[in-house]
Structure 1
Amino acid sequence: MPGFRSLDTELTGHDLPVEGELPGWLSGTLLRNGPGKFDGGESRLRHWFDGLAMIRKYEFDDGAVTYSNRFLRTDAYDDATAGRPTGQFATDRRGLGKLLGWLKRLGPPEPTDNANVHVARLDGEYVAQTEVPRWVRFTDDLDTAGSFEFADDLDMDMITAHLVADPAGGHVGHGLSFGRTHEYTFFEIPPDSRRREEITSIRTDSPAYIHSIGVSEEHLVLVETPLRINILRALSPFTEGFFELLEWDDELDTRFVVIDRASGETVANQSVDPFFTFHTINAYDDGDGVVLDLVAFEDATIVDALALDTLAEEGFAAAPPGRLVRVRLGTDGSVSRRRLYDGGIELPTVRADRQTRPYRYVYGQSTDREGANGLVKVDTERETATEFWQRDLYVEEPWMVPRPGGEAADDGAVLAPALDVEAERSVLLVLDAATLEELARAPVPHHNPFGFHGRFFSE
């Protein structure tokens, strides 16, 4: 499948042809991050998450769109193109050198700077993010500008690539540090700052892999699933990457820890039957509790299913579907759960100004159908869904852009990169956010491997 085939082409300011009509009000930049290359010399990387970071840029102005794409020039890029891919999620060929790095630091060796997961704008700079603290700056022209350094002394071995942009200003995130005792750390980054201000830390004897957390106006929600990190396994020179440290513990439940953002105090700690999640969608307060929406999987099979060998043989058919689940966590210790959409969903987003607040619509990649990935809009109030599908078209993470001056919660446009696997060519879809009717599409002159996350930055 071309979605897992390397791309070598880089373009700058390429005018895309438009089929249909782009909204005249649409102005700004969609930045996308994800893998662009899956091999290094004679070596094939092992997992989708290992692909070398490539930034894609779609710039909208006056009914037109230009496209640029460029690899991040990092140490990981140099190593892989020299035929020695190192330090990736599931690919690490350092052998004894990795063990010596652990012993020298009394902790994990230098992590990868292959920042291929997400993007943010921090302290006036574009930043490419991954799940270890080696983020990379890049310019408006997508040139790599060196490492991004925080102006604080917080020391974490892992850090979320899913910073929550709070509409009130700033960002909220979490990290994990390893030691004799391990700690989850929660922090805020004020507007126009690169200083993380710690909210609180929680100790754990058995750290879990946590991709994202829930953030409401008043609370944080940690979702600790049974997918745990076996730190001792990292001491083996035969362990290839972080992937092989992960193990599902059937004896554990999934735990929700609710934290007061102002005080850092834990206000609820509840467990439910085990499930796994990559992505929390949104959270909001409802008086005496927190409502949290997320994508739930029965277990962590999804992580193994995204290995490149498995995808080459079975495609996305090997990946179990995630379900949109609403969890209500009462401060009295009560927990309730219900499914809001019967189809499969992943890579969910909500409009930026409703993050941390009550909201109505989720936009996401619709899965669980053979031969394509669609796009779905879920109405969380009516618990109904609208879907967009086209045969052989694999839609990626959508981003809803509100129309300036629009009053309805779904008045705007949805931007969604997609890959036509039959034509082996990518296309940017622009859909009506209310109906998911296609307004326009802009074909890209090459295929883009399947990406992960992005954001729209208004001008």
Structure 2
Amino acid sequence: MQRRYLLKAMAAVGAGLSLPHANVFGQTAVSNTINVKHLFNQAIQKDDALIGLADVQQNYTEQSLKIDGKLPKDIHGYFYRNGPAKHERGEQRYQHLFEGDGMLQRFAIGEGKIKHIGKFVNTPKYAHEESAKRFMFDGPDTKLTVSSAVAHADTINTANTNIIPVGDDLWALWEGGSASVIDKASLSFKNFANLGENSQYGDKLKRLPFSAHPKIEANGDIWNFGYNAAGTIVLYHLSAQGKTKNVGLINTDFRAGMLHDFLITHKHILLILPSITKDASAHGMFTSIRFNKHQPMKVMVLDKNTLKLARQYELPPGFAFHFGNAWEEADGSIYFDASLYSDVKILHEMSHIMQGKHIAKPATSNTCLYHLKANGSVDYQRLKENSEFPRVSNYLTGLKNRYLYHVGNTHDGLWSDSIYRVDWHNDTVESYDYGKEYIVEEHIPIAQDNNENNGYLIGTALHVPSKRTCLNIFNVAKLSDGPITRAWLPYHLPLGFHGNYSAA
């Protein structure tokens, strides 16, 4: 009886994302009354830092990079990144950074060389629009003059946010629909993952939302969620091969339109609901999101075995895109960190910069460490350093970590220009300042021998004056010494979101 009810509920969630001739984001998109492409082209002539948001016309062919410094012999694998890159077709430019079609970057590292290749994710949306040589579908915030009907979420799946290894494949992730299965060798799109295939769920999970921030445990198990705008959240437990082990549903009544990230411990799932609401009078998914300073953040703690709610906490109002890690102590208390904003201004700034608007005082976030006590009370500490894209060593996902890595801003500008390592054991912070001429992207720790203090930090940065992107490798124990390896591309790559390292 319980399984039959669950499958019926799954079908209802899927139906909510597959209405013909409807905008699956639940809002009418913004009408283009101005030429956004023209405004952006005017702005980029005055501000070279916008080149990372310029449209990419074609794939990047494989080439070897020029290496400064010494490449460690014990790094042998692939560093992947994903992010939006197709922002324009014809005279049309997307109005929000989250709308562009995804492009995968692969850096093959080993034998004293680093090779790079970049390739658009050839989703059905991208393939159709490439053939038509125009955008065919409305985006979350962008309305076309002529738009085709949207049959279901994967019709407009841009696969533009993250990329993870799953079995013998890669999965390119978006948060509104399915994971895109990618061939590791060619980086070619194969199909959309059907999570229920070869399991008791069959096609009941097909096209359900699957977030771009899964958590992968040391044994390879994959945990994730999918958010529906009606407030229903699907919970997933998959094997390392991507086969569904368990799935559940929880009704959160959180209808703000967006939930980007979550966390796990070794026993629980943490859904952190930020202090945001939806303005029904506004048009567009992201445009309609508002911060509510009177609405506490809510933490829903769910049992990983039953996928049922165990307890809840309320935190001071705040907003976070990203969390680094969570762990649980023997007494049942839980710690987790967040790159915390005091409002949701950052979400709208991502629209402003795509339209060439100047941002005088950019939004900032800081690392906040929360302590959810077993008695229901909460403590937290907030660090002074600006913080985004927090990461921990992969083998510690859901377990207690000493070090947290993130990017941030030292020079009070719009872009991140520095990297940081927070040591929770002694509450110290070590950093490296690239310099204000760099735009620094997410950096990922690579632990050697499952030793958090032995390994490397790897990430990309765009050098604005020379208009080139470089891949950088740091010794985690000597972060402030700067990169031990810097590998240069002869051109710049589009600014991306997330990625991962996979050993060869």
Same fold at TM > 0.5: yes
Structure 2 CA distance for partners of 1:254 and 1:19, relative to 1, 3 Å: same
Please say if 1:300 is aligned against 2:317.
no
Shift of 1:109: 6.2
Amino acid across the alignment from 1:332: N
Amino acid across the alignment from 2:364: P
Q: Which residue of 1 aligns with 2:137?
A: 86
Q: Tell me the secondary structure at the aligned position of residue 286 of structure 2.
A: helix
Please say if 1:291 is aligned against 2:340.
no
Please say if 1:346 is aligned against 2:388.
yes
Q: Which residue of 1 aligns with 2:39?
A: none
Is the CA contact (8 Å cut-off) linking 1:3 and 1:447 kept in structure 2?
A: yes
Shift of 1:178: 4.8
Is the CA contact (8 Å cut-off) linking 1:321 and 1:368 kept in structure 2?
A: no
Q: Tell me the secondary structure at the aligned position of residue 420 of structure 2.
A: strand
Q: Which residue of 2 aligns with 1:363?
A: 405
Q: Which residue of 1 aligns with 2:216?
A: 165
TM-score for both structures, normalised by structure 1 = 0.89
Please say if 1:132 is aligned against 2:162.
no
Alignment equivalent of 2:266, drawn from 217, 227, 232: 217
Alignment equivalent of 2:187, drawn from 119, 122, 142: 142
Q: Tell me the secondary structure at the aligned position of residue 477 of structure 2.
A: coil
Shift of 1:111: 5.1
Alignment equivalent of 2:104, drawn from 43, 49, 55: 55
Shift of 1:202: 3.0
Shift of 1:433: 1.1
Structure 2 CA distance for partners of 1:457 and 1:401, relative to 1, 3 Å: same
CA distance in 2, matches of 1:319, 1:65: 35
Shift of 1:345: 0.9
CA distance in 2, matches of 1:419, 1:439: 17
Shift of 1:200: 4.7
Q: Which residue of 2 aligns with 1:393?
A: 438
Structure 2 CA distance for partners of 1:205 and 1:54, relative to 1, 3 Å: closer
Is the CA contact (8 Å cut-off) linking 2:95 and 2:354 kept in structure 1?
A: no
CA distance in 1, matches of 2:288, 2:193: 27
Bigger shift: residues 14-23 or 262-271: 262-271
1:1-150 aligned within 5 A: 1-78=50-127, 80-81=129-130, 82-84=133-135, 86-93=137-144, 112-139=156-183, 140-150=185-195
Is the CA contact (8 Å cut-off) linking 1:429 and 1:440 kept in structure 2?
A: yes
Amino acid across the alignment from 2:418: G
Structure 2 CA distance for partners of 1:402 and 1:273, relative to 1, 3 Å: closer
Structure 2 CA distance for partners of 1:172 and 1:324, relative to 1, 3 Å: same
Shift of 1:199: 4.3
Structure 2 CA distance for partners of 1:208 and 1:53, relative to 1, 3 Å: closer
CA distance in 2, matches of 1:94, 1:239: 16
Q: Which residue of 1 aligns with 2:461?
A: 418
Please say if 1:383 is aligned against 2:432.
no
Amino acid across the alignment from 2:488: P
CA deviation vs aligned residue, 1:40-84 (integer Å, no higher than 9, x gap):
111011111122211000011122111100111223324554222
Bigger shift: residues 443-452 or 130-139: 130-139
Q: Which residue of 2 aligns with 1:260?
A: 303
CA distance in 2, matches of 1:431, 1:330: 36
CA distance in 2, matches of 1:344, 1:306: 18
CA distance in 2, matches of 1:20, 1:96: 50
Please say if 1:448 is aligned against 2:499.
no
CA deviation vs aligned residue, 1:386-412 (integer Å, no higher than 9, x gap):
111133011100011123x474x2211
Amino acid across the alignment from 1:292: F
Count of aligned residue pairs for this structure pair: 440
CA distance in 2, matches of 1:323, 1:309: 22
CA deviation vs aligned residue, 1:219-247 (integer Å, no higher than 9, x gap):
111111122356x77xxxx944x323423
Is the CA contact (8 Å cut-off) linking 1:36 and 1:54 kept in structure 2?
A: yes
Shift of 1:267: 2.6
- In structure 2, list runs of 5 or more residues that go unmatched: 1-49
CA distance in 1, matches of 2:343, 2:365: 10
Shift of 1:193: 3.1
- In structure 1, list runs of 5 or more residues that go unmatched: none
CA distance in 2, matches of 1:458, 1:116: 23
CA deviation vs aligned residue, 1:287-313 (integer Å, no higher than 9, x gap):
221111111100111100111546733
Amino acid across the alignment from 1:161: A
Q: Which residue of 2 aligns with 1:183?
A: 232
CA deviation vs aligned residue, 1:73-112 (integer Å, no higher than 9, x gap):
22332455422252434224277866xx6xxx8xx76652
After superposition, the CA RMSD in angstroms is 2.5
CA distance in 1, matches of 2:165, 2:354: 35
Identity of aligned residues (%): 19
